[in-house]
Copies of this chain bind each other. A is one copy, B any other.
């Protein structure tokens, strides 16, 4: 592709991108293709000859687009949003052409130093104290992995790093029953074993019961285990429940546990001082993760990992082969030592674009609107005779179900499962589910920067109508 061709194709691409953003609500949110349908359209083997880009792009529109689930739609109310903004897209465009590698300061000083600064900006924006420092990771899963590895090395005095787990104590990790599955995955791969992840029961609001935590710790000590780390959720995935971080922190301190906070999603609300009731006790923690790629309008991937003692983290990961040594090593951050990967994208750039193009004020307004509209919908659901709320609404996730009082639990589960399918099959919105106390629960969360109250009103109308039709 010549330079002129690139310019031409990239301009057409921009028009396609802008049109897509304009018309995203016309697509069915959830793709309705059947397994195997997309794959079958592509030949078994790679092409020998170069093809014209226009032809490739036509194929993209015709063959790929029907298999896309539209995470970009404001009517995407599923999982957690991976909502991005136009400023962030512009950031990704520059990243893609520079191809900057930030593994070592020298490989692009600006990538490291803008990241230094962005981690400070974000620390302040989230209302964290100056004790925190950190780096940008790909995902919260690897951020939580960092916490486990660092805790392991601190407790073993870097013995595991050097000698492996051999002759080590049986460590125990604690998290609430509602904690995100990344902790389950991580305790396995970090070598602790899934049996040593102790799930602590939750209260009626799905928040960890601190007394139960202390109970388990005491029993474990008696049984010869070594309590290592406790994870506090600032917003669980199922219901955005907030664990009592202060009480957990006191227990962590008492028993010398590493204290890690998973604020992957709800952390975004901390940019508004009025929601910082959630982070009370967070300052007692040793590490935390927060994903701007979820609800702060930065393209995936962009996850922030903060720690109090960065040297422990660096020591856990550090390697210095000859070919990576530079003269500046003593003066700068070499972020390859802050996570499992070596190569790293220039993620600070898009975060910087978003922070400046929105400004803190506007970001706070949007987050506050999302929360206010969710509380409005909560009231509507509570008022309705046919639906009920199944969890509190600390931020903007609604957990509810159809229940007109005429069905038993089993039938309710079946009905709500079918309701979810029918709602999603309309293509107008996409919602997902969870199970709370055995109840099939509809989960609805809107986090698009251009979400309006109207989107939620229409979603609610659609759900009510679909339930009526199903009855």
Contacts and interface: CB of A to CB of B under 8 A. Distances in A.
A71 interface: yes
Contacts of A237: 321, 323
A110 interface: yes
A46 B224 CA distance: 48
Contacts of A317: 185, 188-189
A384 to B, nearest CB: 24
A310 B439 CA distance: 34
A100 interface: yes
- The A interface is mostly helix, strand or loop, or mixed, namely helix
A388 interface: no
Greatest chain B CB density within 10 A among A108, A110, A192, A328 is at A110
A90 B361 contact: no
Interface stretch (A138-146, A204-212, A459-467): A138-146
Contacts of A331: 35-36
A7 to B, nearest CB: 4
Interface stretch (A118-126, A369-377, A400-408): A118-126
Interface stretch (A240-248, A249-257, A272-280, A427-435): A427-435
Interface string A1-13: 1010111011101
A113 interface: yes
Interface residues of A, number: 153
Given A110-B64, A145-B340, A121 B45 contact: yes
Contact of A141 (B21, B63, B342): B342
Given A1-B85, A56-B356, A110-B38, A142 B46 contact: no
A169 to B, nearest CB: 9
Greatest chain B CB density within 10 A among A168, A300, A435 is at A300
Nearest to A78: B107
A107 B84 contact: no
Contacts of A125: 46
A244 to B, nearest CB: 22
A385 interface: no
Contacts of A18: 3, 6-7, 10
A94 B60 contact: yes
Interface in A305-336: 316-317, 319-324, 328, 331-332
Nearest to A3: B22
Contacts of A53: 87, 90, 357
A299 B93 CA distance: 12
A415 to B, nearest CB: 17
A313 B3 CA distance: 42
Interface in A99-127: 99-101, 105-111, 113-114, 116-117, 120-122, 124-125
A432 B325 CA distance: 10
Nearest to A9: B90
A374 B185 CA distance: 45
Nearest to A22: B3
A5 to B, nearest CB: 8
A414 interface: no
Contacts of A300: 99, 101, 343, 345
B69 A108 contact: yes
A67 B99 contact: no
23 contacts: A5-B86, A6-B21, A6-B90, A7-B18, A10-B89, A45-B124, A46-B122, A48-B359, A50-B357, A60-B94, A60-B349, A68-B108, A96-B96, A138-B341, A139-B342, A142-B341, A161-B193, A162-B193, A181-B342, A184-B319, A184-B321, A185-B317, A293-B343
The list of the 4 closest CB pairs from A to B, nearest first, reads A67-B110, A164-B193, A165-B165, A191-B191
